[in-house]
Amino acid sequence: MDWFIKAFIRASLLWFAAGIVLGVCMAIEPRWVIYRPAHAHMNVVGWLTMLVFGVGYQLLPRLFGHPLQSRKLAIAHLYLANIGLAGMVAGFVAQPHIGADARWITATGGAAFSLGALFWVWNLWHTFNAADARQRAREQSGHSALPTVD
């Protein structure tokens, strides 16, 4: 398994742990409910989505029988997603204290995260296209066996 795939999965575990800790703090101190958007993004975007990214990078190219189109793009995605999510969470935490001035923090983080997610879509889409082209070439040459990456 590539290191960046493990990094996505580890990041998802760290975001989940942080979201759980914040949730417990909100349960202990009800005034902390103002941090609910940060808590939700840590758990849904941090844990669930990062896990989907990591598992997707590991599984989907293998299912289609073709290596990932761009490892560099996947690595850029890793950094954009985590830095972007950290920015979103920081903006959500700052918003109750500084008001609308925190919007630029949240928006910048959201834009970085979104750019990374678009990298994921582009990368996998082109991986699938390459796999389809390879399969068509195999069929035209008379080979019917499904290719595998491994």
In a domain, 8, yes or no: yes
Count of beta carbons in the 10 Å neighbourhood of residue 125: 11
CB 45 within 8 A of CB 127: no
Residue 84 binned pLDDT confidence (cut-offs 50, 70, 90): very high
Tally of structural domains, the chain: 1
Neighbours of 150 (CB within 10 A): 4
**59 within a domain of the structure (yes/no):** yes
Residue 52 in domain: yes
Q: Express each pLDDT in 11-39 by its tens digit.
A: 999 999 999 999 999 999 999 999 999 99
Evaluate whether residue 148 is within a structural domain: no
Question: Is the residue at 150 inside a domain?
Answer: no
**Full-model pTM:** 0.89
Task: Give domain status of residue 147, yes or no.
Answer: no
User: Which residue range is the domain that position 30 belongs to?
Assistant: 3-140
> What pLDDT score does 71 carry?
97
Residue 33 CB coordination number (10 Å): 11
